[in-house]
Amino acid sequence: MAQALVGDVVEEFLLYLESVRSLSENSVIAYRNDLMHLLDVLGKDAPLKNVTTEDLRFCVGKLSDEKKSNATVNRFIAATRTFFAYCRKFGYLESNPALELKTVRIPVHIPRFLTAPEIDRLCTLPVTNELLWETRDKALFEVLYSTGCRVSEVVSLKISDLQNGNSFAIVRGKGGKDRKVFFEIQARQALGAYFADRKKRFSEDGINDSSLHVFVNQKGGPLSTGGVRYILSRYSGAEGLNHHVSPHALRHTFATAMLGNGADVRAVQEMLGHSSISTTQRYTHITTEKLIDIYNKAHPHSK
Give the model confidence (pLDDT) of 171-181 as tens digits: 887 767 788 88
CB-CB neighbours of 47 under 10 Å: 13
pLDDT tens readout for residues 67-123:
888 888 999 999 999 999 999 999 898 889 988 888 877 665 656 777 888 888 888
Which of the residues 88, 158, 174, 234 is marked catalytic? 174
Pick the catalytic residue: 150, 188, 198, 252?
150
The model's pLDDT over 147-171, given as tens digits with 9 standing for 90+, comes to 888 888 899 898 888 888 888 888 8
Is 45 in contact with 10 (CB distance < 8 Å)? no
Task: Point out the catalytic residue in the list 248, 282, 285, 290.
Answer: 248
CA-based nearest residue to 257, from 192, 184, 190: 184
Among residues 31, 86, 194, 283, the one annotated as catalytic is 283
Please name which of 205, 209, 197 lies closest in space to residue 162, comparing C-alpha atoms.
Answer: 209
Paired strand residues for 294: none
**Residue 219 is among the residues annotated as catalytic for this protein:** no
- 49 part of the active site: no
Q: Place 280 in a pLDDT band, splitting at 50, 70 and 90.
A: low
pLDDT reported for residue 161: 86
**pLDDT value of residue 293:** 67
Average pLDDT over residues 281-291: 61
| 47-56, 67-76, 138-147, 209-218: segment of lowest average pLDDT | 209-218
Q: SS3 of 140, please?
A: helix
For residue 179, the 8-state DSSP code is E
Report how far apart the first and last C-alpha atoms of the chain are (Å, whole number).
79
Q: Is 174 in the active site?
A: yes
* Catalytic (active site) residue 248: yes
